[in-house]
A and B are shown apart, each in its own frame.
Chain A
């Protein structure tokens, strides 16, 4: 099925470990986004990529890095995980129109 694919779906990390969350979309969308969802705080934008080759910080970028590998793929890296990064992470994409996003199914990350 067409859409946004995120891997992994679940992950447990120890404090200080690193990992990369992968995201790929097959809809030929230009823009891609990474959000985190925390209880009582809604979804907050971490980083986004308006088009291939560009990335920009969102509302909560500290502790994260991103790579727009090509038009399809947008990865999120945690270099040194901290318990405060325990969250559900969503990748999303959108096209050059004014409709909403297509979301991935999310990654539940726990940092112990």
Chain B
């Protein structure tokens, strides 16, 4: 079974600075998808960024980027120019491809709570 580990329960960053959230995962498969979700106090789960394992290029979405290290099974999220609105819980998640014949179940890490200070 796949597992996802987020070893930082809480992180803090000053506004306009850069912060990196860590995620490692365990899998025996070569093809999969990785995600970062944001959960603000509103409780809504918001997809931040997505990475396909077969792509060597790291995904980027505006101020959000990932550092995907497939051999190390590491998938960190970098938030640049942090804003107060970035304060939230962030979850890393893993998913097998649909062609494996399984339902596309997401496996989540335990989350990192990010605080943004002035």
Instruction: Give the interface of A toward B (CB within 8 A).
Output: 31, 33, 35, 40-45, 48-50, 56, 58, 88, 90, 92, 94, 96-101, 103, 105-106, 108
Contacts and interface: CB of A to CB of B under 8 A. Distances in A.
B37 interface: yes
Contact of A42 (B33, B43, B91): B91
Interface residues on B, range: 20 to 34
A105 B46 CA distance: 10
B27 interface: no
Interface in B29-86: 33, 35, 37, 42-45, 47, 50, 52
Interface of B: 4, 6, 9, 33, 35, 37, 42-45, 47, 50, 52, 91, 93, 95, 97-98, 103-111
A58 B104 contact: no
